[in-house]
Amino acid sequence: MAHAPSLTPDDLMSLETYHRERPAFREAVLRHKTARQVCLGAHATLYYEDRLTIQYQIQEMLRVERIFEADAIQAELAAYTPLIPDGDNWKATFMLEYTDVDERKEALARLVGIEHQVWMQVGGSARVTAVADEDMERSRAAKTSAVHFMRFQLTPDMVRAARAGAPIAIGVSHPLYTYSVDPVSEAVRATLAADLVDPA
């Protein structure tokens, strides 16, 4: 059964408090993220989100934009909290990363549709293909986006298997970009399994 580990305004630090706490908080979040990312070849990475990573994103947005009004804070929460996993899925930011501008432009044109070719697999179960960009369309016919938001929805049996220690594989199967990690490291597997809640 899914849970809703949502964030509320009470969970957020004020701008003044965050300014003071940011160095330590940022360091803790960066450590937390190390087992929450999986490189898929040289140019693609999945960054798995959870309550802490999303809180950090919101706090950074409030800081950069100097947002302190209640309505504006609520708008940021509404935009970002859907990226927190629900207990029966994994949610991730998928990034295509090219340092050279021209190479990136060419790759985004060549890799149209890649966001619909990313998958995860728990043990011997069927692959789960990502549901991409539920909040808004990020690609056009001639090019994909460098950033996509993804949800991997699991069956109850997959949740049980992952929590019981089944290996997890992750990959991308675009005709022009194919790569897989099978299985992921134990640190990543344990982190992802901990995001799940046993079905009732």
Asked whether residue 26 is domain-assigned, the answer is yes
Asked whether residue 21 is domain-assigned, the answer is yes
Query: Which residue in 28, 144, 38, 163 sits closest to 93, CA to CA?
Result: 38
Domain residues for the domain of 37 are: 9-194
What are the tens digits of pLDDT across the range 84-141? Answer: 999 999 999 999 999 999 999 999 999 999 999 999 999 999 999 999 987 656 666 6
Asked whether residue 166 is domain-assigned, the answer is yes
| C-alpha–C-alpha distance, residues 101 and 192, integer Å | 33
Asked whether residue 4 is domain-assigned, the answer is no
Asked whether residue 66 is domain-assigned, the answer is yes
Query: Which residue in 145, 90, 83, 153 sits closest to 114, CA to CA?
Result: 145
The distance in angstroms from the start CA to the end CA of the chain is 6
Asked whether residue 28 is domain-assigned, the answer is yes
| C-alpha–C-alpha distance, residues 54 and 62, integer Å | 12
The whole-model pTM stands at 0.91
Asked whether residue 200 is domain-assigned, the answer is no
pLDDT at residue 142 in the model: 83
Q: How many domains are there within the chain?
A: 1
What are the tens digits of pLDDT across the range 158-198? Answer: 999 999 999 999 999 999 999 999 999 999 999 999 999 99
Asked whether residue 127 is domain-assigned, the answer is yes
Tell me which residue has tokens 């986006």: 145
Backbone phi, psi, residue 185, to 5°: -65, 160
